[in-house]
Homo-oligomer: A and B are copies of this chain.
Amino acid sequence: MAHASPVSPLAPKTTPEVGPVAGVRFATAEAGIRYKGRTDVLLLTLDAGTSVAGVFTRSKCPSAPVEWCRANLPNGTARALVVNSGNANAFTGAKGRESTALTAKIAAKALGCREEEIYLASTGVIGEPLDATKFEGVLAETATRLAPLPWIEPAKAIMTTDTFPKLATAKVKIDGVEVTIAGIAKGAGMIAPDMATMLSFVFTDAAIEAPALQALLSKGVTDSFNAVTIDGDTSTSDTLMLFATGASGAPRIDDAKDPRLGRFRKALTGVLADLAEQVARDGEGARKLVKIHVTGATSKRSARRIAMSIANSPLVKTAVAGEDANWGRIVMAVGKAGEPAERDRLSISFGAIRVAHEGARDPAYDEGEVSAYMKNDVIDITVDLGLGRGADRVMTCDLTKEYVAINGDYRS
């Protein structure tokens, strides 16, 4: 499904080796959703007893698949995930709901499970009804080819405007039994008339009850996917799901705070953070990864808002693209966040170079040194507010002419 674009200069140097996750199998297929002869369906199946958790777009106008998943999540169990490209089934009204129901019905029949155990995600054109009858026959045939490896396949199958496949993995022990975590993601951004959504699916063979799994995911997302922004725009279809098959033989756990989950919790957070960073590294047109650290705020929540105001400022992002350590624009973005800030207590650093201190230019800094720093691929910007102990970090990328070209030039 991938477009032919040059690979982002920020792509990881190597693709991680991701081993099998017991209880998870997958296969891809061509259903002709929008084009003939193109892989456009990914079927992932899960052993009986798999529990599921999810977080979705905060959009007030979510896609039909997001509504379908949200409605079924309280059941807590999953047997399959069907992801299609070519059509996002978003803004399709009543037809969209009928389409998700029919897709789930076809998948459930092919796999011999209940419809409410089928989870769905779609990416592609919006506003066009998705003809779910195209899944008829296709999913049953796909189910005959399911295999546990290699993970690069589903990672590639969900790509749209991504320039590289995104995978992350970890192995840890729960009560002495080794479990695997494996995750894939596709990046955020839109390319007309297709809507390219952030999708991420994480799988483990640990045995964790659904409410505990949801608690782990909801906590893990705060400082990973929720701390990444490309352009401040929110897809109607953003979806992150976590599935636990229990097939590792590790003991079943029903409390997210269970001390046996200590390492697992950390490893899951690491996988989510890794995937989220890869999404930022593949922002449309991105040439630089920008990490914004805010310290000395009145609270973490306030620090997050200030960091997001900086990360979403077109003037900050164009300055980074221009390799300019323009701290005036950082001050501007702090000022417009609406959070407690005192001009005369602000300090701003690019990398380890402090350029502003106590509300004025730092007389000690060397212009040549900071200019050299700005040529790096990864730029750290630290803002200390000098007010309290609230701190946070978010990630974004620069705003380049390529972003405008990708999102505005497709008609010319």
A contact set with B: CB distance below 8 Å? 57-62, 90-95, 125-128, 190, 192-193, 195, 231-236, 312-315, 318-319, 321-324, 326-329, 331-344, 346, 356, 358-361, 398-401, 403-405, 407-412
Q: Are B401 and A405 in contact (CB under 8 A)?
A: yes
User: A328 CA to B408 CA in the complex, in Å?
Assistant: 14
Q: Are B59 and A336 in contact (CB under 8 A)?
A: yes
Kindly identify which residue among B93, B192, B407 contacts A360, using a CB–CB cutoff of 8 Å: B93
Of the listed residues A125, A358, A401, the one surrounded by the most CB atoms of chain B closer than 10 A to its CB is A401
Q: Are A335 and B62 in contact (CB under 8 A)?
A: yes
Closest 10 A/B residue pairs (Cβ): A59-B335, A61-B335, A318-B408, A322-B408, A318-B407, A234-B336, A93-B360, A126-B328, A61-B343, A321-B408
Kindly identify which residue among B128, B190, B339, B409 contacts A329, using a CB–CB cutoff of 8 Å: B190
Q: Are A322 and B192 in contact (CB under 8 A)?
A: yes
Q: Is the interface of A mostly helix, strand, loop or mixed?
A: loop
Smallest Cβ-Cβ distance to A127: which chain B residue = B361
Kindly identify which residue among B90, B332, B340 contacts A59, using a CB–CB cutoff of 8 Å: B332
Query: Taking A60-B339, A61-B334, A314-B232 as contacts, is the C-beta distance between A408 and B360 under 8 angstroms?
Result: no
Q: Are B399 and A341 in contact (CB under 8 A)?
A: no
Kindly identify which residue among B193, B399, B407 contacts A328, using a CB–CB cutoff of 8 Å: B193
Separation in Å of the A225 CB from the closest CB of chain B? 15
Query: Taking A322-B411, A326-B193 as contacts, is the C-beta distance between A343 and B91 under 8 angstroms?
Result: yes
Kindly identify which residue among B236, B321, B323, B409 contacts A332, using a CB–CB cutoff of 8 Å: B236
Smallest Cβ-Cβ distance to A343: which chain B residue = B61
Kindly list chain B residues whose C-beta atoms are within 8 Å of the C-beta of A356. Answer: 91, 127
Q: Are B337 and A60 in contact (CB under 8 A)?
A: yes
Smallest Cβ-Cβ distance to A327: which chain B residue = B127
Smallest Cβ-Cβ distance to A400: which chain B residue = B404
Kindly list chain B residues whose C-beta atoms are within 8 Å of the C-beta of A403. Answer: 314, 318, 404
Smallest Cβ-Cβ distance to A190: which chain B residue = B315
Query: Taking A328-B126, A332-B235 as contacts, is the C-beta distance between A319 and B399 under 8 angstroms?
Result: no
Kindly list chain B residues whose C-beta atoms are within 8 Å of the C-beta of A336. Answer: 58-60, 233-234
Kindly list chain B residues whose C-beta atoms are within 8 Å of the C-beta of A329. Answer: 190, 192, 233
Smallest Cβ-Cβ distance to A94: which chain B residue = B344
Smallest Cβ-Cβ distance to A344: which chain B residue = B93
Separation in Å of the A325 CB from the closest CB of chain B? 10
Query: Taking A235-B332, A327-B127, A328-B193 as contacts, is the C-beta distance between A359 and B408 under 8 angstroms?
Result: no
Kindly list chain B residues whose C-beta atoms are within 8 Å of the C-beta of A407. Answer: 314-315, 318-319, 322
Kindly identify which residue among B60, B94, B314, B360 contacts A91, using a CB–CB cutoff of 8 Å: B360
Q: Are B335 and A234 in contact (CB under 8 A)?
A: yes
Kindly list chain B residues whose C-beta atoms are within 8 Å of the C-beta of A331. Answer: 61, 90-91, 126, 236
Query: Taking A321-B404, A331-B126, A335-B236 as contacts, is the C-beta distance between A346 and B313 under 8 angstroms?
Result: no
Separation in Å of the A285 CB from the closest CB of chain B? 9
User: A346 CA to B282 CA in the complex, in Å?
Assistant: 32
Kindly list chain B residues whose C-beta atoms are within 8 Å of the C-beta of A94. Answer: 344
Smallest Cβ-Cβ distance to A361: which chain B residue = B127
Separation in Å of the A385 CB from the closest CB of chain B? 10
Query: Taking A190-B315, A232-B314, A233-B313 as contacts, is the C-beta distance between A412 and B322 under 8 angstroms?
Result: yes
Of the listed residues A337, A340, A399, A412, the one surrounded by the most CB atoms of chain B closer than 10 A to its CB is A399
Separation in Å of the A360 CB from the closest CB of chain B? 4
Kindly list chain B residues whose C-beta atoms are within 8 Å of the C-beta of A90. Answer: 328, 331
User: A328 CA to B407 CA in the complex, in Å?
Assistant: 13
Q: Are B91 and A328 in contact (CB under 8 A)?
A: yes
Separation in Å of the A261 CB from the closest CB of chain B? 33
Q: Are A411 and B93 in contact (CB under 8 A)?
A: no
Kindly list chain B residues whose C-beta atoms are within 8 Å of the C-beta of A340. Answer: 60
